[in-house]
Chain A
Amino acid sequence: GAGVSQSPSNKVTEKGKDVELRCDPISGHTALYWYRQRLGQGLEFLIYFQGNSAPDKSGLPSDRFSAERTGESVSTLTIQRTQQEDSAVYLCASSFDPSTYNEQFFGPGTRLTVL
């Protein structure tokens, strides 16, 4: 497809388990972003990848959160030892040329529920 895709769309897990969330950006987009959106709240920046540069991890809330990106393609966000406060929708976005203006194209999100 032409848009950003994310999988799974929904994930229910037990507290303490690890989860992996996947994002497939639009082909050719060099920048990729992860955000967290808690119920009724705005977007919280987590991490940003741009080409081969070191990722900007300044938004990761704890060391239980990590993310990887292979080249300029797929990214995975991993949450270890999940807690109930991790329950949220995790959004991925990509953009083509962030050096000019930064129109981000968003995926549909993964809704994570930690029981």
Chain B
Amino acid sequence: AQSVTQLGSHVSVSEGALVLLRCNYSSSVPPYLFWYVQYPNQGLQLLLKYTTGATLVKGINGFEAEFKKSETSFHLTKPSAHMSDAAEYFCAVTRGTSYDKVIFGPGTSLSVIP
């Protein structure tokens, strides 16, 4: 069965520092991969996605993620954290061979320290 793990339920970084949020998945078939962000008191919104093609994908607000098939990873990075990046981040992967079903990871709460 497919699963998604996010190392670290809570990550704190200083403003201006590198943001690295880890995501690993298990899947028997090449999946589609997503990162969603949930700002306080708001709904989830798509940050970026990988479907096919270039393995380094860029999303909104300066975030990017790289799909590494050999490591079954899809880590999210941003070179310089901003206070407004404080939010909950969810990694997600399509389930099985059906691209219409998605499994979400448990989430990582990002805090940015001024």
Contact = CB atoms under 8 A, between A and B. Distances in A.
Given A41-B106, A101-B51, A103-B34, A91 B43 contact: yes
B99 A106 contact: no
Contact of B99 (A4, A43, A102, A107): A102
B42 A108 contact: yes
The dominant DSSP class at the B interface is strand
B90 A42 contact: yes
Q: Closest 6 interchain pairs by CB?
A: A98-B100, A42-B106, A43-B104, A106-B43, A106-B44, A108-B43
Nearest to B50: A101
Contact of B100 (A35, A102, A105, A107): A102
Interface residues of B, number: 21
A42 B42 contact: no
Interface in B3-52: 32, 34, 36, 42-46, 49, 51
10 contacts: A41-B106, A42-B90, A43-B44, A48-B101, A56-B101, A100-B99, A101-B51, A102-B101, A102-B102, A103-B34
Interface string B40-69: 001111100101000000000000000000
Contacts of B102: 45, 102, 104
A99 B100 CA distance: 6
